[in-house]
């Protein structure tokens, strides 16, 4: 991984951008989760992007209520902040305490959280799902932004914490590897000033046995080179709830556009798991472009309340300060 020096102000903005970017992408995609590409197009028009936030008929893009994607991302951030790093038991407890059915959780994740609530070990509960195979849903990848930020400059810890935090609900190798890939995409977005070479770095971040993700990243490269249409992107990368059918799609949405608004608009315009592909694209794009690049029009609509927009911004600040002081302490001791 190439390490670049990022200015402090930029870095703080990137932390905020990734967390608020998750919430904005989630809230923007939520009203059309599960819609086909054709249905999204018929409602919001055939334009490539939704810059005007409404189509010719006056349909407004709504960016108001977040779902499980953001609620779980909040849990990851809260636990990392409380413990100055990863603590699996605390993170599992936080997920259980935060979970609200009205946020539309994936059934596998809800079952794991109920098992833990009922007293099962947080370390074993996820392994009971899908005939003991564990889930390969995108539920671990969609919430990974805080961990990716906290360990963005430490690839070994990044991998370890992405893996361990995922395992609480997703023990299938393809579920955890998808979260690791998404974590590396966010970390690279923090580190880099240009996108060139990111795909090669991402490929390097994969484990040897992550065959399907290598294939998907190759497809991302081909689509980038030939400028594939949306139908090709949907067919080759997917828009489903499996991590391997959505994490590469989010990476592509970020790579094939050149600002936050277009990236997230593109992601949700594909249909399918729109809130989650929107959330993951928002996390990568927010980490790359910074919080200032998130359109006010979207941010102003985002829900407030106990754990709304202001709270998420506060979490990003806290996470940044914890990161900063821990690195400072490390340097005082070892540098």
The terminus-to-terminus CA distance of the chain in angstroms comes to 21
Neighbours of 119 (CB within 10 A): 7
For position 71 contacting Mg ion by CB under 5 A, the verdict is no
Q: In the complex with ligand R7I, which residue's Cβ is closer, 88 or 240?
A: 240
Q: In the block, which residue shows the tokens 């941010």?
A: 299
Q: In the complex with Mg ion, which residue's Cβ is closer, 276 or 285?
A: 276
Torsion of CA 231, 26, 141, 216, to 10 degrees: 10
14's enclosing H/E stretch is helix 8-29
255, 275, 286, 287: which one binds Mg ion (CB under 5 A):
275
For position 68 contacting Mg ion by CB under 5 A, the verdict is yes
For position 236 contacting Mg ion by CB under 5 A, the verdict is no
At its nearest, how many Å lie between ligand R7I and the CB of residue 158? 21
At its nearest, how many Å lie between Mg ion and the CB of residue 88? 23
At its nearest, how many Å lie between ligand R7I and the CB of residue 318? 25
CB 146 within 8 A of CB 86: no
Binding site for ligand R7I (CB under 6 A): 67-69, 104, 106-109, 130, 133, 135-139, 172, 241-242, 273, 275-276
State the Cα angle at 194 between 140 and 138, rounded to 5°.
10
Q: How far apart are CA 245 and CA 333, in angstroms?
A: 44
22, 67, 182, 257: which one binds Mg ion (CB under 5 A):
67
Q: In the complex with ligand R7I, which residue's Cβ is closer, 13 or 182?
A: 182
37 makes contact, choosing from Mg ion, ligand R7I, none, with CB < 5 to 8 Å by partner type, with none
35, 249, 273, 285: which one binds Mg ion (CB under 5 A):
273
Q: In the complex with ligand R7I, which residue's Cβ is closer, 80 or 125?
A: 125
Reported as half-sphere exposure (CB side, CA atoms, 13 A), residue 54 has a value of: 6
107 makes contact, choosing from Mg ion, ligand R7I, none, with CB < 5 to 8 Å by partner type, with ligand R7I
Closest by alpha carbon to 250, among 327, 183, 332, 152?
183
């Amino acid at each position: 991984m190439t390490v670049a020096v990022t200015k402090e102000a930029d870095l703080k903005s990137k932390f905020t951008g990734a967390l608020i970017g998750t919430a904005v992408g989630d809230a923007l995609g939520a009203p059309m989760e599960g819609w086909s590409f054709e249905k999204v197009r018929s409602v919001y028009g055939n334009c490539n992007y939704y810059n005007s936030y409404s189509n010719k008929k006056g349909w407004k893009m709504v960016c108001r209520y977040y779902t499980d994607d953001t609620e779980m991302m909040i849990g990851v951030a809260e636990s990392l902040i409380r413990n100055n790093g990863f603590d699996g038991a605390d993170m599992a407890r936080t997920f259980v305490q935060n979970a609200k059915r009205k946020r539309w959780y994936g059934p596998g994740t809800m079952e794991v959280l109920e098992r833990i609530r009922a007293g099962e070990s947080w370390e074993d509960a996820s392994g009971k799902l899908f005939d003991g195979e564990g889930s390969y849903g995108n539920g671990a990848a969609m919430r990974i932004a805080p961990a990716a930020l906290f360990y963005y400059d430490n690839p070994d810890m990044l991998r370890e914490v992405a893996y361990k935090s995922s395992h609480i609900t997703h023990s299938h190798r393809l579920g955890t590897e998808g979260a690791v890939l998404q974590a590396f995409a966010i970390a690279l977005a923090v580190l880099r000033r240009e996108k060139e070479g990111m795909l090669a770095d991402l490929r390097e971040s994969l484990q040897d046995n992550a065959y399907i993700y290598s294939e998907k990243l190759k497809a991302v490269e081909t689509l980038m080179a030939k400028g594939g249409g949306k139908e090709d992107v949907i067919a080759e990368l997917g828009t489903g709830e499996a991590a391997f059918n959505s994490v590469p799609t989010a990476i592509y949405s970020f790579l094939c556009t050149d600002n936050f608004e277009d990236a997230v608009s593109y992601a949700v315009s594909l249909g399918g798991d729109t809130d989650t592909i929107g959330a993951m694209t928002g996390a990568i794009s927010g980490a790359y472009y910074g919080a200032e690049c998130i359109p006010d029009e979207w941010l102003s609509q985002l829900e407030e309340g106990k754990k709304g927009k202001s709270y998420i911004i506060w979490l990003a600040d806290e996470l940044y300060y914890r990161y900063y002081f821990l690195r400072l302490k490390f340097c005082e001791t070892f540098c």
